[in-house]
Amino acid sequence: MAISLVISRHSPSDCPKYNEKNRKATLEFASKADELMMKHGVKSLGGWTVHPEHLIIHVLEAPSLDALDEFLREPIVMKSLDFQKSELKIATPIQQTYERLAKM
C-alpha cells in the first residue's frame, strides 16, 4: 500500500470561503470524493485544514501509485486542486523505517 500526503495551499483571494467558483469546485469534490476513492481503491486516512495559512493536508492510502495517480487525475479532483499549489509526498510508516534500520 502506498501512503501519500497531499499538501495544498491557496492564496487568500482563491480561498473557497471567499471565492464562489472555488467553493463550488471544493463542494463538488467533497460530494464525490468517497465514490471516486472507492473506484480507485484509495482510502482517506485523514484530512486537515489550517485556516489562517490556507493550507490543506490529506493523507491517503492507495493500493499502488498508479491507483493514486488515476484518482488524482479524475476531472473533479483536478478541478478542486486547480486553484491551489499542491505537493505529493510518498510516505513510509515510521515503524517500517525502524524495521529496515534494524535489519541493516
Q: Kindly state the average pLDDT of the residues 47-76.
A: 96
pLDDT tens readout for residues 80-95: 999 999 999 999 889 9
Kindly list the structural domains of the chain, giving each domain's residue range(s) and its CATH number in brackets, ordered by start. 2-103 (3.30.70.100)
- Put the strands of the sheet holding 2-9 in their side by side order: 43-50, 55-62, 2-9, 85-91
Q: Which residue matches cell numbers 486547480?
A: 82
pTM confidence score: 0.87
For residue 47, what are the CA distances in angstroms to 50, 60, 82, 98? 10, 9, 18, 26
pLDDT tens readout for residues 10-47: 999 999 999 999 999 999 999 999 999 999 999 999 99
pLDDT band at 1 (very low <50, low <70, confident <90, very high): confident
The alpha carbon dihedral of 70, 76, 77, 82 has a sign of positive
pLDDT for 93: 87
Tell me the β-bridge partners of 56.
8, 49
pLDDT for 29: 97
pLDDT for 2: 83
